[in-house]
Structure 1
């Protein structure tokens, strides 16, 4: 198993979580195994279980509870990927055909439902009431985030507060939950639990900001999906949101027209992309992501220096240094 460098410190635990993942995906329904297994096997750094394990170990969580809990945090993530690709009509995921493209929308959505249900069941057994409350609220947040984003499609008057509400629910809530849940399993003190929760939230914000920037400056080969996809789907993300502050009335109207077009042309997408870049939107997005990373690292200083704390610092740094 190839290990994401910051996770070397928990290699043994992460390998156990990988074994646990296969054991839990034991449905006798073939489609669950094939669709769920397909996306679990499609790569990824196992960031969610890794964060859960490190956060739990930081406060002395027992491994017999921590491993299964961490394992199903990846199930929750996998379920959202299955559902998101259907909503977005995505044909690619991490550079290969998406599960909905391979198995069809009906199988993909039901496999996603199964993985959510399995996660909640395992969390109830190994995590208890407090873990279950955090996880259930997170599932609610993620669903609301997707619906909220759909509601805001094409809206050039989107505010920063509305944007951050969407990305908290869509992305940051799950990373935050992983860290907080690790802390709960380890019976963390209130201050420790809050610090882990906020660390997850801040790196979640940074992760999504960098993703949004990549949509303006990367290509399909590096990010595994078509560049300009957010523009094509009418989404106002931070690079454009920031740039729109400097837009003239005519520019704003033109951009609104592109975002409201069902199938914008390549030229229209390129116009919006170049506008955001030239007005400094991408630069501002990356700068803000770096700011959140510094806040995330600062909040962890309540914990003593250790290899586990250093690993969380490395994960935070990777988020803004990655090129994909």
Structure 2
């Protein structure tokens, strides 16, 4: 993610990188090696950045108090991706080898568990209280529920938009909402303003996942750091595909491909061609833009100008990103 939009918290993010490395260090050399690989393999740092921005927006900002929470949020995200990569049998993420590819599934799963544990240890040490701990526990549970729902729906091609929005809310939007909410809470922000930032987080989260789904169809493997058409290969119906299943004259052929667990590379290419021949990409882009417009409109007027500007730049980045 562009550093320019986070200039206001640039020093904070530098401390975050140090804290991440400290958090994954362990007496065992292999555990430290795996953890270090995972937290240094790229990543936008969007979740901790949103937490830090929200905390800066409150009257009681204290970096030393906020940093363990921001670090824990990034660790939870990292751990969930490690487990996702095992489930998806992914070889690369962000252009780097996954833990399961570099080591094996057993080490990857246990490393993910270790990182989850380190995240909650930081939260306990931070003394944030029951609300923060409870929200984070709920988040991890909800991430799992979202993955279970997604797995259950693989190759089933539900044509219900509501199902899609419910799935991406659990997968992404709830996480960004909590980052904004908890950052505002530890920064001492009034409840109504914290609620507004939580809604902002929800909206950009929905837009972020829609955009991510778009990139899987419209970009190259080199740009997104993983094979293009991965969602189709896994039987996951995203919004552009959903639109094509409603609008394309070739909807029956597309349906046959996306519900076939044995689809070939040629099948995936054909499915991508069918989707691109419809307005599916434009339709999904318009939905993402709607969420982003609402996100910017709901930002509290009382936010410091530089913090509000950073939030607006984040929304614009999500709408324009191509990786």
1:125-153 Cα shifts (integer Å, max 9, x gaps): 31221111111111011111111101111
Q: Secondary structure at the match of 2:237?
A: coil
Helix, strand or coil at the partner of 1:168: helix
Correspondence for 1:45: 44
The Cα offsets for residues 207-266 of structure 1, whole Å up to 9 and x where unpaired, read as: 111111111111111000111111111110010112222145xx4443232123223122
Instruction: Give, in whole Å, the separation in 2 of the partners of 1:57 and 1:303.
Output: 12
Matched residue, 2:28: 29
In 2: Cα distance, 1:108 partner to 1:165 partner:
28
For each residue in 1:135-175, what CA deviation from the matched residue of structure 2 results, as whole angstroms up to 9, or x when unmatched?
Answer: 11110111111111011112223411111111111111211
- Kept in 2, the 8 Å contact 1:100–1:108? The answer is yes
Change (3 A) 1:17 1:271: same
Matched pairs, number: 321
Shift of 1:91: 0.8
Give 5+ residue unaligned stretches, structure 1.
Answer: none
Tell me whether 1:80 sits opposite 2:58 in the alignment.
Answer: no
Query: After the TM superposition, which of the residue ranges 80-89 and 40-49 deviates more from structure 2?
Result: 40-49
Question: TM-score, with normalisation over the residues of structure 2?
Answer: 0.95
1:317 aligns with 2:323: no
Is residue 258 of structure 2 the alignment partner of residue 259 of structure 1?
yes
Q: Comparing 235-244 with 186-195, which one deviates more in the overlay?
A: 186-195
Larger mean Cα displacement after TM superposition, 58-67 or 139-148: 58-67
* 1:296-316 residue CA offsets vs partner (Å, 9 max, x unmatched): 111104434510110011011
* Residue equivalent to 2:192: 191
Cα root mean square deviation, aligned: 1.6
Q: Indicate the residue corresponding to 2:125 in structure 1.
A: 125
Structure 1 CA distance for aligned equivalents of residues 10 and 33 of structure 2: 26
Question: 8 Å contact 1:56–1:66 — kept in the other structure?
Answer: yes
Secondary structure of residue in 2 paired with 1:156 = coil
Point out the more displaced range, 138-147 or 182-191: 182-191
Provide the rounded CA distance (Å) in 2 between the counterparts of 1:3 and 1:217.
21
Q: Is the 8 A contact 2:157 2:236 kept in 1?
A: no
What's the CA shift for 1:3? 7.0
Cα drift, residue 66 of structure 1: 0.4
Paired position in structure 2 for 1:303: 302
Contact 2:203 2:292 in 1 (8 A): yes
Distance between the aligned counterparts of 1:31 and 1:196, measured in 2?
Answer: 40
- Measure, in 1, the Cα distance between the counterparts of 2:192 and 2:260: 48
2:289 alignment partner in structure 1: 290
Equivalence for 1:271: 270
1:5-45 deviation digits (Å, cap 9, x = unpaired)? 21111111111122222222232133321222112111122
Query: Which region of structure 1 is more displaced relative to structure 2, 260-269 or 44-53?
Result: 260-269
Task: Within 5 Å, give how 1:1-324 maps onto structure 2.
Answer: 4-60=3-59, 61-126=61-126, 127-247=128-248, 251-324=250-323
Query: Mean alpha-carbon deviation: is it higher for 174-183 or for 265-274?
Result: 265-274
Mean Cα deviation higher: 76-85 or 121-130: 121-130
Displacement of 1:268 after TM fit? Answer: 1.4
Does the Cα contact within 8 Å between 2:214 and 2:284 map onto a contact in 1? Answer: yes
Displacement, 1:267? Answer: 2.4
